[in-house]
């Protein structure tokens, strides 16, 4: 005999059992709705799209490379539109083309690189002008490194969801 039910009438036992069953069903319903909602969008539609790249200059002003992250594995192509040498580094305007296995986009970016040698870092800002998540702002960074192609730049370029002008 169940110790929790000892000394109670059959009617009371039945009520307690139904109440416990209803409470358990309610908990299961809440849990299943919560996981269904999480699975429906995977939480991905409300976070920034995180993308990685490694690029190098092929024949100035052209760039090539590889991409990954939310776009999926793929290729990078780019063009340097303008380059200014400053006392502390470089100011660059460029077009970045991410051609991933899941998504593709083009972003016009402004790059502020500090330094000229391996280990130099850069801050990237801009906007997606074509393709996936067009109109959203981008933000990223890279580090200059040595690679088999000579000098490479490895970094991230995140698409900042919810930054489109018409998302207000």
C-alpha closest to that of 163 among 38, 69, 49, 68:
49
Answer whether 165's CB lies under 8 Å from 154's CB: no
Beta bridge partners of 66: 54, 75
Classified as helix, coil or strand, 118 is coil
Comparing CA positions, the residue from 141, 144, 69 lying closest to residue 112 is: 141
Structure tokens at 100: 């991933």
Sketch the domain layout of the chain as residue ranges.
3-42, 45-167
**Fold classification of 45-167 (topology level):** Porin (2.40.160)
How do the pLDDT tens digits run along the chain, 168 residues long? Answer: 555 555 556 666 666 656 555 555 544 444 444 434 343 444 455 699 999 999 999 999 999 999 999 999 999 999 999 999 999 999 999 999 999 999 999 999 999 999 999 999 999 999 999 999 999 999 999 999 999 999 999 999 999 999 987 754
Please indicate, yes or no, whether the overall pTM of this predicted structure exceeds 0.75.
no
């Amino acid at each position: 005999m169940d110790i929790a039910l000892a000394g109670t009438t059959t009617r009371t036992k039945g009520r307690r059992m139904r109440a416990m069953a209803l409470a358990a069903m309610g908990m299961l319903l809440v849990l299943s709705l919560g996981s269904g909602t999480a699975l429906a969008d995977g939480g991905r539609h409300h976070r920034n799209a995180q993308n990685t790249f490694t690029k190098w200059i092929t024949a100035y002003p052209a760039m090539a490379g590889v991409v990954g992250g939310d776009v999926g594995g793929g290729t990078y192509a780019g063009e340097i539109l303008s380059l200014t040498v400053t006392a502390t580094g470089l100011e660059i305007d460029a077009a970045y083309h991410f051609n991933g296995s899941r998504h593709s986009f083009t972003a016009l970016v402004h790059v502020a690189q500090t330094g000229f040698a391996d280990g130099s870092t850069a801050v990237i800002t801009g906007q997606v002008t074509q393709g996936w998540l067009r109109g959203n702002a981008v933000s990223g960074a890279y580090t200059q490194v040595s690679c088999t192609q000579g000098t490479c730049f490895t970094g991230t370029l995140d698409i900042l969801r919810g930054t489109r002008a018409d998302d207000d």
